[in-house]
Amino acid sequence: MSTRWIFIRPKEPLIIGRVKPKTNFIGTMDYIPGRILRGAYAEWLISRGETHRIIDAVDGVLFGNFLPTALWGKIDYVSPFLLSMLTCKLEDGFKTEPHDENRGHGVVDTLLPRLCCSLLKKSGAALSVPFSILCQSIKDKDEEEIKQTPCNSRMEPASGFFSSQRKNNTQRYIKTRLRYYSQTRAALSRYRQSAFEGMLYTATAISPLLEDPEKKYGDDADLAFTGRIQGPEEKVDEIVEALNGRSIGSMNTRGYGRICCEDESIRIPPLEDRLRRFNETLKELWQDLKRLCSSQSIPEQPVGLYFSVDLLAPGIFRDEHGLPTLVPTLKIRGKPLKPVFCMTRPDFAGGWSGAWGLPKETALAAKMGSSFVFCWDGSKDDLLADLERIESEGISDERRDEGYGECLVCHPFHEEVNER
């Protein structure tokens, strides 16, 4: 099996289909789902007269989801905002943004503090203060007297996508701020081959142009969608060749959707390091919160080895009875393992089949950015082998080959319990 990280750079505006709120408005998704790329590859095979190869060609291949980022430096990873991430309500955004006007009071991750609070309560602890998170970014109260005070504003969930990037040994978190391109056109009759009187529609697409603070890449190469394709090496090579220069999404015959592909390396920290730092941060928070508890019979540290599974795409899950659920069950060493803590919301999984000209079956799904925390009481070496498999294959019970259930174990941003 080969795993290839790829940059997809749009050369034309992109329209990635989604549910239409009104028939005369065509919107777009903010990322490229794996199923879109799989469909584009199938269309390439059909155009070559190799329709008979489609089933065999996509067998054993996993198409990941490609997430947008603005290129500033060397990319560590690109991720959706997790449901556990909060930012200041008054001044939202990272403190490390390249543009001064985009910088906010910071973003903080609350999964580990909330997990620690939940575990302490299960251990019999009674917290003497309510669990509340306020913005602690320092702001100037009076420039003449140089007095500084915390913001203390309410924190709210962030949305969209962000990336961790490095340049000149400096790491920054950058929120992806997409620009959109809208165009109004006349509706055409397929039978009369002419315009419908009084009927217009508006198409909104992702613009390939983003503002580059240093003008390093020019005007047409500063937006990239980053993702991975896994499978036999010869199949992955053919897929990259097929997608390069092809058009994806909607309205391909009207100047939308052309892309180019290029290989790229991603510097996600090793899984073992992420697991170790996740538990070290949890133990530090345990000691801090333990001082606020009135009970004296609390363990010195959490019992067991904890890890999180964070969704980079919606996940479709079924319980032991085959019914839809928002909570996954993992198989570790052949044993079922249920989460001890989770932060998730409902979503739906759908899509459109271009080959059949029909909508795909819809299903209940856990929202992209959901986090599920599990506890393991066995050997760490046994756990790492299964976690590597989970991170490679995903955790969705259905449609993994379309990108559903793509995940990251112990997301690096969970360590950012202070505002960044």
**Contact, 88 vs 106, CB < 8 A?**
yes
Task: Report the pLDDT averaged over residues 81-92.
Answer: 90
pLDDT of residue 220: 41
Task: Report the pLDDT averaged over residues 382-404.
Answer: 88
Domain 271-415 annotated CATH 2.60.40.4350: yes
Tokens of 388: 């590597």
Is residue 210 pLDDT above 90, yes or no? no
- The H-assigned helical ranges of 319-398 are 380-393
Helix axes 271-290, 380-393, angle to 10 degrees: 110
- For the chain, give every domain's residue range: 2-92+161-263, 271-415
Question: Which pLDDT band, with edges at 50, 70 and 90, does 20 fall under?
Answer: low
Helix axes 34-47, 233-243, angle to 10 degrees: 80
Is residue 213 pLDDT above 60, yes or no? no
How many Å apart are CA 407 and CA 313, to the nearest integer? 7
Higher pLDDT, 219 or 225: 225
Question: Which pLDDT band, with edges at 50, 70 and 90, does 372 fall under?
Answer: very high
Identity of the highest mean pLDDT range in 48-52, 183-187, 298-302, 358-362: 48-52
Identity of the highest mean pLDDT range in 65-69, 221-225, 353-357: 65-69
pLDDT of residue 276: 93
Q: What is the mean pLDDT of the chain?
A: 83
pLDDT of residue 221: 41
pLDDT of residue 279: 93
- What is the tens place of the pLDDT at every residue in 306-324? 999 999 999 999 988 889 9
Identity of the highest mean pLDDT range in 19-23, 121-125, 138-142, 164-168: 164-168
Tokens of 178: 């997409």
Task: Report the pLDDT averaged over residues 48-68.
Answer: 88
What percent of the chain is modeled with pLDDT above 70? Answer: 89
Question: Which pLDDT band, with edges at 50, 70 and 90, does 142 fall under?
Answer: very low
pLDDT of residue 128: 63
Residue 40 half-sphere exposure toward CB, CA atoms < 13 A:
26
> Under CATH, which number does the domain 2-92+161-263 receive?
3.30.70
Residue 116's SS3 state is helix
How many Å apart are CA 59 and CA 401, to the nearest integer? 9
pLDDT of residue 338: 92
pLDDT of residue 144: 43
pLDDT of residue 143: 45
Is residue 356 pLDDT above 70, yes or no? no
Question: Which pLDDT band, with edges at 50, 70 and 90, does 125 fall under?
Answer: confident
pLDDT of residue 342: 93
Higher pLDDT, 357 or 207: 207
How many Å apart are CA 407 and CA 393, to the nearest integer? 9
pTM of the model: 0.85
What percent of the chain is modeled with pLDDT above 90? Answer: 24
Higher pLDDT, 186 or 275: 275
pLDDT of residue 303: 86
Task: Report the pLDDT averaged over residues 105-109.
Answer: 89
Helix (H) or strand (E) holding 34: helix 34-47
How many Å apart are CA 310 and CA 369, to the nearest integer? 6
Q: What is residue 292's DSSP assignment?
A: T
Beta bridge partners of 108: 86
Is residue 217 pLDDT above 70, yes or no? no
Task: Report the pLDDT averaged over residues 51-76.
Answer: 87
DSSP per position, 219-268: SSSSEEEEEEEEE-HHHHHHHHHHHTT-B-SS-GGGT--BEEEEE----P
Task: Report the pLDDT averaged over residues 400-414.
Answer: 90
Residue 311's SS3 state is strand
